[in-house]
Amino acid sequence: YKFDIVGAQGQHLPLKADPLAFAAEMRPNTASIVFDEAMLPRPAPAPANVNRLDAPISIYEVHLGSWRRKGNNEWLSYRDLAEQLPRYVRDLGFTHVEFLPISEHPFDGSWGYQPTGLYAPTSRFGCPEDFSALVDACHREGLGVLLDWVPGHFPDDPHGLGNFDGTALYEHANPLQGRHLDWGTLIYNYGRTEVVNFLVSNALFWLERYGIDGLRVDA
């Protein structure tokens, strides 16, 4: 599904994906998918000693799409990764695994750093339940799970947050403030309470509903 939004002048805007959707279509399709968040399993918590403030920490950072591939060069699914990655990381002696951004994003080459669906684990590797199973598998191997989280900017793809209702709703109206020249992306307007609430709620969502143990905040 998508939102058909009519602007203030009566014009139909590009169809928009749901900013709060818990699942999304596989690119190049961009529609949101209905998913009952109440059905999402809660991963087992990480062992208490892993996240003690005085405990030593060593982090294995990984891009899920690049770590390993199948024989036909297809990505491993979240379930495939759950069977292979946690034990591999544990055997190397790391205490935590950090996933590069996994929120839905349209461009593979961005490695997830240009997200359009902040609440949806990318469908490249499976569905929300599958990602939850990966977090659970990491915890059961005694690993803490960190997530690279991107609240700094977002792409201007037509289905995304940019010009959402025909106005600069999430971004700055002034392009001198609202456009990241290095990446060609839009910058969130942190001066708007609604935008701050959207981002803080998203951070808490990953921590509370998926059992993520911490966030690395991308600048």
Mean pLDDT within 3-15: 93
**Tokens read off for 67:** 């770590």
Q: What is the dihedral angle through the alpha carbons of 128, 145, 97, 132, rounded to the nearest 10 degrees? A: -20
Strand, helix or coil at 57?
A: coil
Q: So what's the pLDDT on residue 43?
A: 84
Give alpha helix (H) positions in the chain: 78-91, 128-140, 175-178, 193-209
- Exposed / middle / buried, residue 23 (Cβ in 10 Å: 0-12, 13-18, 19+): buried
Instruction: Please give the model's pTM, rounded to 2 decimal places.
Output: 0.92
Domains along the sequence of the chain with CATH:
3-217 (3.20.20.80)
Measured distance CA(162)–CA(181) in Å, rounded:
15
Question: Which residues fall within 8 angstroms of residue 87, CB to CB, at 6 or more apart?
Answer: 141
**Tokens read off for 43:** 């991963």
**pLDDT bracket for residue 107 (50, 70, 90):** confident
Q: So what's the pLDDT on residue 48?
A: 86
| Amino acid found at 163 | N
Measured distance CA(50)–CA(52) in Å, rounded:
6
pLDDT digits (tens, 9 = 90+) for 70-85: 989 899 999 999 999 9
Alpha-carbon dihedral sign for residues 91, 96, 100, 101? positive
Selected residue with higher pLDDT from 138 and 107: 138
Measured distance CA(58)–CA(29) in Å, rounded:
38
